[in-house]
């Protein structure tokens, strides 16, 4: 083999060198990307876990009947928890599991505060558990509290087939749902409500029974009963039958 034959073509040598250099540059770029990603991720993690973004205060608003301590316990957020790592949706679900809470809204207030705003359930009536205890229920029939005495101004719910513990719903739940459909002026006069066998009736504080029949079209039946009461004034009656709202009967 002659020297001329063994000598590598300069153009081929240049191409090989260019290929090697290109591979080296690609590897360097990949390495730089990986190192950069690690550095950014590590930096972000350090920022998130920084004491500057820890929970220092939990502010609770909207509580009246629900103790703020109960909301705080349900949230289970402690000073020093990483504010940005808190699952806001999960916190809201835990707080809404408190029987008397209808809605919960949680917001991060950087750098160090968590704000919790609750919307409480409104008591609609009460049911007797035993001679010394009553269950307070809201308009959906949910038991939101237990008490030693009936709350003032709320009607008693009688004829229930089930009275669950806190957080459960009475049966039938329509016993309190129908109250919310009544005209306010009539609802304020209700002393007790009963739903049995699908038939509902009200006992007013003045002793008059309002027979609603099936718990449907309650708003119309309530307006009819109120109109009859207004028309009769102080006339003594024992009941008003509004099962057919267009043809009320008194007796």
Cα gap 199→127, rounded to integer Å: 18
Same domain for 135 and 206?
yes
Looking at residue 138, its pLDDT comes to 95
Same domain for 89 and 104?
yes
Using pLDDT thresholds of 50, 70 and 90, give the confidence band for residue 4: very low
Structural domain of 40: 3-48
Looking at residue 59, its pLDDT comes to 93
Looking at residue 43, its pLDDT comes to 41
Task: Give the β-pairing of 209-214 and 239-241.
Answer: parallel
Same domain for 73 and 165?
no
- With residues binned 3-state (H G I as helix, E B as strand, rest as coil), the percentages for the chain, rounded to 5, are 35, 30, 35
Same domain for 141 and 215?
yes
Which residue, of 95, 120, 145, is where some domain finishes?
A: 120
Same domain for 114 and 227?
no
pLDDT digits (tens, 9 = 90+) for 61-101: 999 999 999 999 999 998 888 888 899 999 999 999 999 99
Same domain for 8 and 19?
yes
Same domain for 130 and 114?
no
> How many domains, in total, are found in the chain?
3
Is the backbone of residue 207 left (phi > 0), alpha (psi -120 to 50) or beta?
Answer: left
pLDDT digits (tens, 9 = 90+) for 108-164: 988 889 999 999 999 999 999 999 999 999 999 999 999 999 999 999 999 888 899
Which residue, of 86, 102, 120, is where some domain finishes?
A: 120
What CATH number is attached to the domain comprising 129?
3.40.50.11690
Same domain for 86 and 36?
no
Query: Which of 172, 193, 100 has its CA nearest to residue 138?
Result: 100
Which residue, of 70, 87, 120, is where some domain finishes?
A: 120
Beta strand ranges found along 3-53 (DSSP E): none
Same domain for 178 and 69?
no
What CATH number is attached to the domain comprising 104?
3.10.20.310
Same domain for 43 and 114?
no
Same domain for 78 and 173?
no
Looking at residue 102, its pLDDT comes to 96
pTM of the model: 0.74
Same domain for 41 and 17?
yes
């Amino acid at each position: 083999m002659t020297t001329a034959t063994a000598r590598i073509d300069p153009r081929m040598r240049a191409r090989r060198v260019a290929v090697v250099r290109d591979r080296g540059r690609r590897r360097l770029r990949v390495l730089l990307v990986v190192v950069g990603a690690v550095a950014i991720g590590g930096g972000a993690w350090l920022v998130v876990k920084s004491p500057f973004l820890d929970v220092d205060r939990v502010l609770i608003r909207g509580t009246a009947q629900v103790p703020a301590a109960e909301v705080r316990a349900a949230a289970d957020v402690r000073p020093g928890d990483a504010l940005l790592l808190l699952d806001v949706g999960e916190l809201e679900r835990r707080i809404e599991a408190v029987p008397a809470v209808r809605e919960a809204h949680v917001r991060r207030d950087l750098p160090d505060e968590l704000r919790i705003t609750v919307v409480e359930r409104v008591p609609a009536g009460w049911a007797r558990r035993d001679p010394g205890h009553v269950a307070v229920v809201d308009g959906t029939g949910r038991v939101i509290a237990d008490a030693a005495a009936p709350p003032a101004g709320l009607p008693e719910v009688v004829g229930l087939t089930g009275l669950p513990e806190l957080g459960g719903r009475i049966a039938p739940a329509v016993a309190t749902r129908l109250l919310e459909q009544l005209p306010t002026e009539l609802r304020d006069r209700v002393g007790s409500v009963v739903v049995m066998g699908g038939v509902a009736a009200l006992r007013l504080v003045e002793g008059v029974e309002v027979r609603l029949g099936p718990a449907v079209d309650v708003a119309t039946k309530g307006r009819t009963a109120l109109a009859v009461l207004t028309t009769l004034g102080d006339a003594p009656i024992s009941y008003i039958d509004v099962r057919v709202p267009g043809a009320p009967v008194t007796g």
